[in-house]
Amino acid sequence: MKDKILKFSNKVEICFKGLLVFIERDISNKEIILKTTVFSERDFVPISIRKCVKKIFEKNKKAFLSIDEKRFAVDFIQKIPLKAEKFLLKIIRLYLLVAKSWALILKKLAEQDFLNV
């Protein structure tokens, strides 16, 4: 049944292993887009996190971090080919491992910013 979800809807959100994952099917680009929030603050995104996002992900178009200024959050986004849909559950598991790692890294960067003030 889980494999059928994306066939009936182009956008779904699921809670998987404690993280909310948005899954979008982009037919025009023949890809599936996974998105989850890996960092969020009340009123700003720390400078070290901004530098990290810009430096590391400016060239990669398939997996990257993106700052959402309205939510003061950082999202981890990954694009996978639509033909990999049959492996979606395995891909989501790996994606979440990477997302949780980024959440820890960004949390440590933010803590360092607060300690250096």
Per-position pLDDT tens, the chain of length 117: 444 445 556 888 988 778 899 999 887 878 999 999 999 988 889 988 998 888 766 666 789 999 999 999 999 999 999 888 889 889 999 999 999 999 999 999 988 877 654
Give residue limits of the domains in the chain. Answer: 2-115
Q: What is the CATH number of domain 2-115?
A: 3.30.1460.10
* Per-residue b or e along 23-45, where b marks 16 or more CB atoms closer than 10 Å to that residue's CB: bbbeeeeebbebbbbbbeeeeeb
Amino acid identity of 58? E
Q: How far apart are CA 80 and CA 78, in angstroms?
A: 7
pTM of the model as a whole: 0.82
Q: How far apart are CA 39 and CA 28, in angstroms?
A: 30
